[in-house]
Structure 1
Amino acid sequence: MKDQEKIIDFDTKLLERYIENKRPPLEIRDQLDIGYRKEGQAFEVFEIRPNWMDNSIKMEIPVAKARYVKSRSVWRLYWMRGNLKWDFYEPAGEMTSLSEVLEVIDADTHGCFWG
């Protein structure tokens, strides 16, 4: 395994641990849950809730998106604006580690991620 693959695998484990720690108790996960999807060098965190008109339909509500810029070895964090477009989260700037990105999302000092 190449060093870069080891870093990516470590990042995936870190992200999985973060999500697992953010998830609500089992008894309410049918009403609120936290998930993520990873595509290449990016991941998205989202809430999972039932549709307000039809509880059998689950909706994914975006929380945060981050992308690793390999050429500069930095992470860029994005938040979903009211116009449903991702916008660079300028207060944090570019970050050098995934753990730093997850700390910023968790702290949510400007109410952009968790409300």
Structure 2
Amino acid sequence: MALSEFEIKKCEKALEDFLQKRRPPAHLRSEVDLAYRQDGHTIVIYELRQNYRNKAEMIEVDIAKLTFVQTKKVWKIFWMRQDLKWHSYQPYPTARTIEEAVTVVENDEHACFFG
């Protein structure tokens, strides 16, 4: 079962607030920016960067993945390691709300999401 409209709006609000705080200044956004995509119960936060070989092309670099587990009513938090696989964010592997999950990514206490 997909997220309800209410839950989707709640996610959008939390993520838009996060992006407002973390996005680079407007004059740099054509070179580097932050965005997110949602697919079912999963939200991926990613960075958009100019391809260093072709400046007209933008590439996506995944930063964090938040997945809602309906049966447990928790958000699982993942980060992308150098092996390009998602790994559970061990200091805080789950969060009760989307706001709490986004706060974990924003604070990035162990420099896993933003280095």
- Cα deviation code 1:50-87 (max 9, x no counterpart): 01111011011111001000111000000001110001
TM-score scaled by length of structure 2: 0.90
Q: Distance in 2 between matches of 1:106 and 1:16?
A: 12
Q: Which of 1 and 2 has higher RCO (CA within 8 Å, sep 6+)? A: 2
Q: Return 5+ residue gaps in structure 2 as ranges.
A: none
Q: Return 5+ residue gaps in structure 1 as ranges.
A: none
Equivalent pair of 2:18/2:106 in contact (CA under 8 Å): no
Q: 1:5: which partner in 2?
A: 5
How far residue 107 of structure 1 moved from its aligned partner, in angstroms, is 1.0
Q: SS of the counterpart of 1:14? A: helix
How many corresponding residue pairs? Answer: 112
TM-score scaled by length of structure 1: 0.90
Alignment of 1:1-115 (within 5 A): 4-115=4-115
Runs of 4 or more above 3 Å deviation: none
Q: SS of the counterpart of 2:7? A: helix
Q: Distance in 1 between matches of 2:66 and 2:15?
A: 11
